[in-house]
Structure 1
Amino acid sequence: MSTQSPRASFSGSVTRQQTVRAYLHRWAETAGAQLLVVDPMGDDGALSEAMAGRGVHVTWVTSTIDGLVEFGRTDPHAVLLAPDAPGIAPAEFVGAIRRHGSPYVIAGAVDPSGAESREVGALILAGASAVVLRPYAAPHLWELLSHAPRSLAEHARLEVGPIVLDATAYSVRVHGERIADLPLKEFELLRALMLRAPGVVSDDELRDALWGTASSRPGGNTIAMHVTRLRSRLHGAAVVRRIRGRGYSLTPDPD
């Protein structure tokens, strides 16, 4: 009979949730779509966390000057711009970034039909494709981003053969059946292998995916243990091979 107290159980649940959130942020930053938000109201973290779960990394700056710097650094899939952002005029900012590509630009507004209508109209004329209300709601923003020329959904959903991994739902399905209670490390391992499939993922890259940049990272035997467990969960739907001296690869079972 378990003697674990409700408090200990709750603490463990909170720790797991925090670990999953940290993982999703790391995933979105390294392999996800990039969204640049230029808005002086600042980020309280809620939007960044919600979008990370959808495979989108949010870079938030408060001026168009900083926006130009981050645009060049991140090459974002989409740009969300508030019409009251300080620096160069927002419409001029849109014109400047569109001269260096065709990002999907969304104008943010408190009331686009009211006092801000002229500023929002100027952004539309400059090249903005949509308008979203502030404060930003992740589901509405995701719906708009789904229509961007550069697909964002692919960063939340991966599919290799019969295996479908969805970061938004934190789920893995094999032949349509969900793998229940998949541990976080095995989820991270599968995601890393699927991103590169059928290519090889090195041991160092797997350590980065599973343990980040922590100084005390385990060796190859621990990775091999997680690979063995993952193989059994996939029930032969894919082959996870050890490539000696290089790393691991995942390929769908041809049968």
Structure 2
Amino acid sequence: MLGPVEVWSRGQRLGPFPQKPTALLTAGLVDAGKLVSVDRLVDAMWGDDPPASAAKLVQAHIVRLRQVLHRPGAREVILTRPRGYLFQPEEGRLDLQATLIGVGRPAREAARQIADQMR
């Protein structure tokens, strides 16, 4: 992860968040759209020395993050799944997604042009 983590909701920058929720959110968003295990989140938050109550603390941080990130009428950003969580930010809202979209669209168009020329 490069640079500071910024969280925006409803057009406003939130935070700064405390270290543990930031680590949890970052770990979840790095794997956005995929199941992120509780063990992975615990590791992101505490490394090799998690407290005995780490899984419960992850749950508590998830509840707080949901409260902060929820927008009325929008889909949930963090979904509970067996053995973990699914982080699903709005399409194009992560810097990584925006970068990939910016690179991917021109590449897709170039591939179409090449395919058209080969016909």
* Displacement over 6 Å in runs of 4+: none
Q: Which one has a larger percent helix, Structure 1 or Structure 2?
A: 2
Residue 228 and residue 174 in structure 1: after superposition, are their counterparts in 2 closer, same or farther (change >3 A)? same
1:184 CA displacement: 1.2
Q: Is structure 2 residue 27 aligned with structure 1 residue 192? A: yes
Q: Is structure 2 residue 89 aligned with structure 1 residue 252? A: yes
Report the Cα distance in structure 2 between the residues aligned to 1:203 and 1:225, rounded to whole angstroms. Answer: 12
Q: Is structure 2 residue 46 aligned with structure 1 residue 211? A: yes
1:224 to 36, 41, 59: 59
1:235 corresponding residue in structure 2: 70
Equivalences, count: 88
CA contact (8 A) 1:241 1:248 kept: yes
Report the Cα distance in structure 1 between the residues aligned to 2:50 and 2:89, rounded to whole angstroms. Answer: 34
| Structure number with larger C-alpha Rg | 1
Amino acid at match of 2:56: N
CA contact (8 A) 2:43 2:50 kept: no
SS in 2 for 1:178: strand
Residue 190 and residue 251 in structure 1: after superposition, are their counterparts in 2 closer, same or farther (change >3 A)? same
Q: Deviations over 1:209-246 (max 9, x none)?
A: 001111534332211100000111113364211112x2
Residue 178 and residue 215 in structure 1: after superposition, are their counterparts in 2 closer, same or farther (change >3 A)? closer
Alignment of 1:113-192 (within 5 A): 156=2, 168-174=3-9, 176-192=11-27
Residue 170 and residue 198 in structure 1: after superposition, are their counterparts in 2 closer, same or farther (change >3 A)? closer
* Structure number with higher relative contact order (C-alpha < 8 Å, ≥ 6 residues apart): 2
Residue 173 and residue 213 in structure 1: after superposition, are their counterparts in 2 closer, same or farther (change >3 A)? same
CA contact (8 A) 1:200 1:248 kept: yes
CA contact (8 A) 2:28 2:36 kept: yes
CA contact (8 A) 2:20 2:45 kept: yes
Residue 198 and residue 183 in structure 1: after superposition, are their counterparts in 2 closer, same or farther (change >3 A)? same
TM-score (norm 1): 0.31
Report the Cα distance in structure 2 between the residues aligned to 1:215 and 1:241, rounded to whole angstroms. Answer: 23
Amino acid at match of 1:219: A
Report the Cα distance in structure 2 between the residues aligned to 1:171 and 1:217, rounded to whole angstroms. Answer: 29
Gapped regions of structure 1 (runs ≥ 5): 1-54, 56-155, 157-167
Residue 195 and residue 215 in structure 1: after superposition, are their counterparts in 2 closer, same or farther (change >3 A)? closer
Report the Cα distance in structure 1 between the residues aligned to 2:23 and 2:4, rounded to whole angstroms. Answer: 14
Gapped regions of structure 2 (runs ≥ 5): 92-119
CA contact (8 A) 1:241 1:249 kept: yes
CA contact (8 A) 1:243 1:249 kept: yes
Q: Which one has a larger percent strand, Structure 1 or Structure 2?
A: 1
CA contact (8 A) 1:198 1:251 kept: yes
